[in-house]
Structure formats: structure tokens, C-alpha cells
């Protein structure tokens, strides 16, 4: 099962990705998590990524693509993977296609979790209080929503055209949403 999970910041991607990955016994690959781990460890990649993350901007494609190519080459992806937060730009879509073409392993599904903007901003502000993510201030949240709308939302149509898209309503509690997601993926 090779899946891409998309959706605006605060739609619950991370939580749902963990549930799906567990269910299908595939690795959950979150580019945001990998960047945060690198920031935490003070690696060169982390220092570079932090400049963008702190402003709510995307890390440059060249940096992100290289990191994802290396991650997808690891042996635990043999039975599939769930990509959370990648691709986020048209260039990343092309790169992912090249990586998977080389491996001979095309995507099975792209799932878009849809969400209401006011609701997700409220969720993110709440998350800021709970786990103090550096990029969960109101100003940065707004910027992340804008960047998503400008650069990532258009990818939904691209995947729809490829016949890969599943749309799932992300509003409601965690179990409700995961029930919908698993139902859509197993259908």
C-alpha cells in the first residue's frame, strides 16, 4: 500500500497518518517530523530547514526531494509507505513520480483530508498551547494556510486527474475520521 496523505495544516494528518500506517503495517513518513528531528539534533539539514519552518514557508524543493529520495530507498518501504506532508509542490509531485518510476512502485492512493479553515486554525492554536511547536503561533499558522492554498491545494486536481484521489471529510473526532479514512482505503 503506497499512500500520500494531503490536507491543510491542522486537518489532523499526523494523527490519522499514524493510525493508517499502524493498520496497514507500513512506515509513516512525515517530512515535517524528519525536519523537526533534524532541527532538534542540530544537523546541517535541520539548520537549513529551520530558517523556512519558523516562517511557515516551505523548505526548498531540492533539499526536501533529496531527503525523501533517501528515505524511500530504505528497506522498510518494501511493502509500502504512507507519505504525510509530501509532495507539497508541483515540482515535488514530479520528483516523487521519478523516484517511484525508478523503483517500479507507483502510488496506490492519494487521500485528501478536507477541513474547515476556522476549525483548523482553532485546532492549531490549541496544539500550540499543548506541545509548543515553534511554528504554531497565529502569524505563522496564517502564513502556513496561505502557502498551502497557493502551492499545495492545486496538487489535489493533479492527482484527481491521475485517478488516484480519495477525498475524506476531516471534521469530527479522531475515531470518526479514521473510520472514514480506513473505509475509503479498503473500499
**Which positions touch ligand AMP (CB under 6 A)?**
9, 31-32, 35, 52-53, 56, 58-59, 64, 85-86, 88, 92, 135, 144
Query: By the 8 A CB rule, do 60 and 54 touch?
Result: no
Q: Which residues does residue 169 pair with via DSSP β-bridges, in sequence order?
A: 114
55/167 with CB nearer ligand AMP: 55
Single out the catalytic residue among 50, 71, 123, 144. 144
| Catalytic-residue membership of 133 | yes
State yes or no: is 88 an active-site residue. Answer: yes
- The residue from 13, 36, 50, 123 that is catalytic is 13
Residue 10 backbone dihedrals phi, psi, to 5 degrees: 90, 0
Judged by beta carbon, residue 74 or residue 183, the one nearer ligand AMP is 74
Q: Residue 163: how many CA atoms within 13 Å on its side-chain side?
A: 1
CB of 139 to ligand AMP, least distance (A): 13
Nearest distance, CB of residue 65 and ligand AMP, angstroms:
9
Compute the least distance from the CB of residue 85 to ligand AMP, in Å.
Answer: 3
Q: In whole angstroms, how far apart are CA 119 and each of 2, 16, 106, 114, 131?
A: 29, 17, 34, 11, 18
Alpha-carbon gap, residue 99 to 67, rounded angstroms? 12
Write down the catalytic residue from 36, 71, 88, 180.
88
2 is catalytic: no
Which of 38, 178 has the CB closer to ligand AMP? 38
CA atoms within 13 A on the CB side of 69: 15
Task: List active site positions.
Answer: 13, 88, 127, 133, 144
Amino acid at each position: 500500500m503506497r499512500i500520500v496523505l494531503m490536507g491543510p495544516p491542522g486537518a489532523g494528518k499526523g494523527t490519522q497518518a499514524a493510525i493508517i500506517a499502524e493498520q496497514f503495517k507500513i512506515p509513516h513518513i512525515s517530512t515535517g517530523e524528519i525536519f523537526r528531528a533534524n532541527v532538534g539534533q542540530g544537523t546541517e539539514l535541520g539548520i537549513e530547514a529551520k530558517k523556512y519552518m519558523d516562517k511557515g514557508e516551505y523548505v526548498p524543493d531540492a533539499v526536501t526531494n533529496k531527503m525523501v529520495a533517501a528515505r524511500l530507498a530504505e528497506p522498510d518501504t518494501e511493502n509500502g509507505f504512507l507519505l504525510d506532508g509530501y509532495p507539497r509542490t508541483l515540482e515535488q509531485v514530479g520528483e516523487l513520480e521519478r523516484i517511484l518510476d525508478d523503483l517500479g512502485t507507483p502510488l496506490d492512493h492519494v487521500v485528501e483530508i478536507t477541513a474547515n479553515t476556522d476549525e483548523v486554525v482553532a485546532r492549531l492554536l490549541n496544539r500550540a498551547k499543548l506541545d509548543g511547536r515553534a511554528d504554531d503561533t497565529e502569524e505563522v499558522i496564517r502564513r502556513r494556510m496561505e502557502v498551502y492554498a497557493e502551492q499545495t491545494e492545486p496538487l489535489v486536481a493533479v492527482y484527481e486527474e491521475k485517478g488516484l484521489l480519495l477525498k475524506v471529510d476531516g471534521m469530527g473526532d479522531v475515531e470518526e475520521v479514521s473510520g472514514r479514512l480506513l473505509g475509503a482505503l479498503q473500499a
